Structure 1
Amino acid sequence: MAHSVVTTAADLAGRALASITRGVAAVRHADKPLHPDGDMYAGQLIRPGSQQRTGVPWIDQGGEDDVIVRLSRAVGLPGPVPDVHGLALRLRKGQTRYGDLLLASTGWDPLTRHLLMPAWNAHWPLTTLLPYRSPIGPLVIGARPIDVRGYQLCWAVVGRQWHALGDLTLTMPLPEETEVSFDPVVNPLPGLEQYPWVEHLREQSYAVARRMRRASHA
């Protein structure tokens, strides 16, 4: 019963987000209603391995990932105006498979890390906002800027303290025409799963955005 209530609530919230996405697109007359403009970079994520085990090899074991990174503002408001900042990463999981990670400006403590926060500048913490399913429970990923080209990535079980995940460095800008459609539902991170209610919440607004992009390129 509880599961069906959560799923229904997430479905209703997802429909509301999809309506907002369509509304923003209509006002803008744009095919990309959210994060319309962004700066693309090649980057490298160096993971030392986590001392606190999660059961997710990508977090627990050390390694290096070559990534594509997009920095953006959700609404695309002028620079001096607060906006929700976005940090998107794509890492390879094989020759043709990818994992996408989307983070947005939030707070950093156990409560506010789940709340979107418009930020005055890019020196603001970002998180996945919604949790992933992991062997040790619901898990959130966050990032804190350490300089203009670097971020410290962390992970935390919902309600618990942060632990180091890795250091992200933006190595070089990519051409303006570089286009990547980040989608954490279609391209999950290795070893992490989306909860069904999170998929319900996100999928409808993502589906609207995907249809708009296909229509604009038809």
Structure 2
Amino acid sequence: MERAVQLGRTAADAGGAALAAVFGTVAKVRPAPKPLHPAGAQVAGTLRRWGCLRSWGVPWLDEPGEDRVLVRFSRATGLPDPWPDILGLTIRVQRPDGPADLLLATTGTGVLTKFTLLPRRDPGADYGTLMAYRTPTGPLWLFARGDGRAPFPRRIRLSAADARGGVTPFGEIVLDAEPDTTDPLISFDPVQNPLPGLVFYAWEQRLREGAYAAARSVRGRERSG
């Protein structure tokens, strides 16, 4: 058991180093504060949580509530419309104890397809977290889907799912206005700013840390340059 845990840690460390290296390479090719998802559009909104029909043991998901949010739509490689791209959806939840960040990308929503990044054209597509969060009842994936309104959705439905694929809606974001394409530079980081009651598995944490550390380093160099 101990050996298996150690192997898992080693693999996660190696994966994290690989992600950091990839991010660093992209940053050299495209020197910018955000080498991936370089340009986007931001807008404030309100997240109304009515709670999941099933219990996850996480009050933020299980119980009704309301949060102010900042939403960012982006394209991973920065390809222009109408080219398909891996689309990004970033949601910053404004909490009394500080911001909490949720990063999603266009994926499937099925048992297997939720692990697959899918190029899309329409920001109203399906988004997923790709990796699972750890909860008292087991692994959980979060999903989002826009209302199909062009060029950006005005409403975004949020859902949660377990490993078997049962997707349960728990809330909806209503955006205040059209997104602002001036895209002010903000550092979103789900590792440093986790959602309340939702944490990554240890191997995921180790895998992500390298990439996000590299991202913070690039932004620091841009600000000081």
TM-score of the pair, normalised by structure 1: 0.94
Structure 2 residues not aligned, in runs of 5+: none
Q: Counterparts of 1:169-180 in structure 2 under 5 Å? A: 169-172=174-177, 173-174=179-180, 176=182, 178-180=184-186
3-state SS of 2:158 partner: strand
- Name the structure 2 match of 1:19: 21
- Name the structure 1 match of 2:66: 64
Pairing 1:157–2:162 present: yes
Q: Counterparts of 1:200-211 in structure 2 under 5 Å? A: 200-211=206-217
In 2 relative to 1, CA 177–167 (structure 1 residues): closer, same or farther, beyond 3 Å?
closer
- Name the structure 1 match of 2:44: 42
Q: C-alpha displacement at 1:85, in angstroms?
A: 0.4
3-state SS of 1:159 partner: coil
Moved more, 62-71 or 113-122: 113-122
Give the aligned residue type for 1:165: F
Q: How many residues align?
A: 217
Give the aligned residue type for 2:22: I
Give the aligned residue type for 2:127: L
Pairing 1:212–2:221 present: no
Distance 1:179 1:29 in 2: 15
Q: 2:192 aligns with which of 172, 175, 186?
A: 186
Structure 1 residues not aligned, in runs of 5+: none
Q: C-alpha displacement at 1:171, in angstroms?
A: 1.1
What value does the CA root-mean-square deviation take over the aligned residues? Answer: 1.4
Distance 1:102 1:6 in 2: 24
Distance 1:45 1:177 in 2: 21
Q: C-alpha displacement at 1:192, in angstroms?
A: 0.8
Q: C-alpha displacement at 1:184, in angstroms?
A: 0.4
Pairing 1:138–2:139 present: yes
Contact 1:130 1:140 in 2 (8 A): yes
Deviation string 1:43-68 (CA, Å, 9 cap, x unpaired) is 11111111201110000000111001
3-state SS of 2:124 partner: coil
- Name the structure 2 match of 1:107: 108
Distance 2:85 2:91 in 1: 19
Pairing 1:52–2:54 present: yes
